[in-house]
A = this chain, B = another copy of it.
Amino acid sequence: MTRAERERQMLDVAEEVFATQGYGAVSMEEIAVRVGLSKPMLYEYFGSKEGLLLATITRARRELREATERAATEGETAEDKLYHGYLAYFRFNEAHRRAWLVLLQEPVLLGGAAGEIEATRRQQTDLIVAQMEWLVPDRPRRDLEAYAEIIVGACERLALWRMRNPDVTPEEAARQMMDVTWKGLSAYGA
């Protein structure tokens, strides 16, 4: 087995247990046993427990980004693009439930490797901002950045809400996002 395959295997196991049991509740020993290796190997590959979490988060984030990025190229109008982006997001966290769950663990890193994750976040935000520039031209860069953050946060939370309401389809969630962020609540005002 090559080194890259080993790493993927380790990340698969880590993703599974972090998602189901939570970061604090699982020991490195347990992960190692599940992989079929011993603890020091994990440290060889990832340096620390937080490093392992960081690696799984980075991978999950990349997968999510690729999925939504691809989708946002579909559709003609700005409205269509936005809708398809949302749809891809909610479909992703239905299909890759585990990968998505570890993304929620991110705040754990606040006190630790927060700096390292900043780069990936920055990169992701930049991409959304780029699409924003297409969506809503002639706005200050700073506002576009804010809008991107707003949308990411909203999606995250709505996805969490969907976990408690599993009968909400990705289509419905995407439509709800459109209601608020595209048309705006004023459209429904009294």
Contact = CB atoms under 8 A, between A and B. Distances in A.
A157 B149 contact: yes
Contacts of A24: 24, 108, 111-112
A154 B149 CA distance: 7
Interface stretch (A39-47, A58-66, A174-182): A174-182
Contact of A111 (B22, B110, B156): B22
Contact of A150 (B78, B146, B157): B157
Contact of A185 (B23, B105, B135, B145): B135
B179 A182 contact: no
The interface residues of chain A, by DSSP majority, are classed as helix
A149 B158 contact: yes
A190 interface: yes
A183 interface: yes
User: What copy number does this chain have within its complex?
Assistant: 2
Nearest to A134: B190
Interface in A74-121: 78-79, 82, 101, 104-112
A153 to B, nearest CB: 3
A36 interface: no
Contact of A176 (B78, B147, B176, B185): B147
A168 to B, nearest CB: 8
Nearest to A104: B107
Interface stretch (A1-9, A27-35, A136-144): A136-144
Interface of A: 20-26, 78-79, 82, 101, 104-112, 135-139, 142-143, 145-147, 149-158, 160-161, 165, 168, 173, 176-177, 179-190
16 contacts: A78-B189, A104-B110, A106-B107, A107-B107, A107-B108, A135-B185, A139-B188, A142-B168, A146-B173, A147-B176, A147-B179, A149-B154, A153-B153, A153-B160, A154-B154, A184-B185
